[in-house]
Amino acid sequence: MAPKAVIFDMDGVLVDTEPENQRHIQEFFADRGLELPKAATDDLVGCTGAYFLERINEWWAATPRKHVDELAMSAGEAMDRHFANILYDYPSLLNPGVPQTLDGLRERGIRCAVASSTERTGIVRALEPCGILDKFAFVLSGEDFEHGKPAPDIYLAAAAKLGLDPTDCIAIEDSDRGILAARRAGMRVAVKREKRFGFAQEGGSWYLDRIDELLGIVDGELQ
């Protein structure tokens, strides 16, 4: 079935931000006396904002050496202040083949959109300096939905905004939560292979080592 649109997750699919995110979270808590195992931060990959806050609030409650000026702060407030001083070089984190893939899809008459669990400001902050934000018809953020991935809501909304049936769309995902969300919406999923975070990555229609491999898949579907 020839696709009419491709809907991209962002973190891990368009930009390889997750290792940096994990490193900074681990450093934040370690500096305050709490060593987080990698499995703990792995569990945050692809999660909703609400789930993220739930986990960091638990860790914050167990943090033994908060800075003096943080004693009255919530985990979110302390981390927001910490991360505000960290600047990512997003163009260096752009996954290989992404711009070429977006241009190739446009040339084939296939629309592109973003459906990410990241807050909207974070999506813009990552994609704009990479020079690809304007290549998408729109971006949807998980903060706009009561039920985040693995619920299908964000993918169903993306298809509706495109005026398409979900079966006319291909989703590009890497996390187990994202794959399940797209499948529950009725979309076929091209899975970006990822071995660093313990994902099972089950249920994909195709598996990609590079994002630009999608163009060959699309060409096969268009024949």
Domain co-membership, 164 together with 57: no
State the residue for tokens 């084939």.
Answer: 108
Which structural domain range is residue 70 located in?
Answer: 18-84
Digit-coded pLDDT (tens) for 79-126 = 999 888 898 999 999 999 999 999 999 999 999 999 999 999 999 999
The Cα–Cα gap between 11 and 85 comes to 20
Tell me, what's the pLDDT at 222?
80
Same domain assignment for residues 58 and 133: no
137, 171: one domain:
yes
Of 84, 100, 135, which closes a domain? 84
Q: Are residues 27 and 80 in the same domain?
A: yes
Domain co-membership, 77 together with 119: no
Same domain? For 103 and 213 the reply is: yes
Over 80: is that where the pLDDT of 56 sits? yes
Tokens of 25: 């979270």
Domain total in the chain: 2
Given pLDDT bands bounded at 50, 70 and 90, which one contains residue 209?
very high
79 touches 41 (CB < 8 A): no
Residues counted in the chain: 223
Q: Are residues 96 and 192 in the same domain?
A: yes
Residues 108 and 122 in one domain: yes
Rounded to two decimals, what is the model's pTM? 0.93
Residue 154 corresponds to which tokens in the numbers above?
Answer: 């964000």
Q: How far apart are the C-alpha atoms of 120 and 138, rounded to whole Å?
A: 11
Same structural domain, 45 and 32: yes
Of 49, 84, 119, which marks where a domain is finished? 84
Largest CA distance in the chain: 64
- Report whether pLDDT(1) > 80: no
Provide the pLDDT confidence category of residue 207 given band limits of 50, 70 and 90: very high
